[in-house]
Amino acid sequence: MIALLQRVSEAAVQVNGETTGEIGHGILALIGVEKGDGEAQAERLLERILAYRIFPDAEGRMNLDLVQVGGGLLLVSQFTLAADTGKGNRPSFTSAAPPDEGRRLFDHVVARARRVLPETATGRFGADMKVRLVNDGPVTFWLQVPPAA
């Protein structure tokens, strides 16, 4: 599984003009599910998202995690993160999980996240979404938990 983390001062996602999720200071995590991913990868990825120290401490060092700073979490499914861009001018999505499996694992991440952060916001799986964010820093990280063998 893949997460593209962005430290934000605010972020929101809309579907058909309706805001489905928004946060203030926190993390916008775009989530991609690959073939072979399972609940173990979903849980490990969420652990890493929640524990990743990307917020500044009193000395300005990235030393604090999302929970420590009381930040919000906005999770948005994005199958294009699983694209193979190695050759040609058009991405291939052969490594992306099928939609039903992607939805199941994305929903699993959301449910687990809400156990720790009940106010976790989301987009809408499979929808055409408009994501608005103010990247704080900018600070952006790619996290990947390899699919099961």
Compute the distance between CA of residue 61 and CA of residue 74 in angstroms, rounded to an integer: 23
- Catalytic member of 68, 80, 85, 93: 80
Q: Bridge partners of 130?
A: 14
Is 78 a known active-site residue? yes
Catalytic residue among 6, 14, 55, 79: 79
Residue from 78, 106, 120, 122 carrying the catalytic annotation: 78
- Our answer to whether residue 79 is catalytic in this structure is yes
Q: Is the CB of residue 49 less than 8 Å from the CB of residue 27?
A: yes
For residue 82, which phi and psi values (nearest 5 degrees)? Answer: -90, 10
Query: Any alpha helices (H) in the chain, and if so which ranges?
Result: 39-51, 66-69, 99-116
In the residue annotation, 85 being an active-site residue is answered as no
Q: So which residues are the catalytic ones?
A: 78-80
